[in-house]
Amino acid sequence: MSPADLLDHYRSRCCSPQWQGFVRALCEELEQGLDEADRARLMARLGGRFAAAHPLPEAATLQALQDAANAVWSALDWGRVEFEEQPDCVLVRHCASPLAAAGGTGRPWLAAYLEGVYRAWFHAAGGAPVLDVVCTQADAGHVDSYVLCRVT
């Protein structure tokens, strides 16, 4: 069994089997009723609601904010996040989210959920209104990638 197969197995176990059928049926229904842009907007709004229900404590550094986010994710078995400061942005890599395992692969719009979570958390942490979080790659090697950057 390859490392990717092992990760698939463990990630699939993060979503309780009792919910997997429901989540997949919900995804199929959303695909029938909404176009991809609307699905992504809905998922981002849900992520914002999650972030509001799970506010992070004040953090003086990006590392402290990452640690606070990982405390939330760890308690829920939702993988792990890494923030990497770049000269003009912050890279956000969320590893081993159960979203694709629960909803099925080939649904990049599911990554908008975490986009909404991180958008809300960065704004609550004092991020400038001209900054936004955007998904750059969904479920590539069990990693969802985002960037916090200036939007025009």
Q: Domains of the chain: which residue ranges?
A: 3-150
Q: What is the pLDDT of residue 3?
A: 66
Q: What stretch of H or E contains 148? A: strand 143-150
Short-list 63, 62, 93, CA closest to 80: 93
Cα 145 from Cα 111, distance rounded (Å) = 9
What pLDDT, on the 0 to 100 scale, is given for residue 140? Answer: 73
Q: Which residues contact 39 (CB under 8 A, 6 or more apart)?
A: 30, 31, 109, 112
Structural tokens at position 115: 């986009």
Fold of 3-150: Muramoyl-pentapeptide Carboxypeptidase; domain 2 (3.30.1380)
Model pLDDT, residue 11? 59
- pLDDT tens track, the chain, 152 positions: 676 665 565 556 666 777 788 888 998 999 999 999 999 999 999 999 999 999 999 999 999 999 999 999 999 989 899 999 999 999 999 998 888 777 877 888 999 999 999 999 999 999 999 999 999 998 776 789 999 999 87
